[in-house]
Amino acid sequence: MRKEYFLLIVIIICIFAVPPFAYATNERQHIYIDLWKNELYLVRDK
């Protein structure tokens, strides 16, 4: 995977992940954190 694509994905994940972290209740926040961790693991595996 090329570095440019990796950075783009990271930026997109940050843009979509930060607002839910800021406004989510605890229960929803755990779901978002799990999804976010799964994204990191998927990116790391490639």
**Residue 20 near residue 32, CB atoms below 8 Å:** yes
Q: What is the pLDDT of residue 28?
A: 60
- Determine the Cα–Cα distance for residues 25 and 4; give it in Å rounded to an integer: 33
Q: What is the pLDDT of residue 40?
A: 66
Low-confidence ranges of the chain (pLDDT < 50): 46
- What does DSSP assign to residue 27? H
Q: What is the pLDDT of residue 26?
A: 58
**Residue 29 near residue 21, CB atoms below 8 Å:** yes
For the entire predicted model, the pTM comes to: 0.34
Domain chopping of the chain, boundaries: 3-45
Q: What is the pLDDT of residue 38?
A: 74
Q: What is the pLDDT of residue 31?
A: 67
Q: What is the pLDDT of residue 11?
A: 79
Structure tokens at 5: 């694509």
DSSP H or E run through 23: helix 3-23
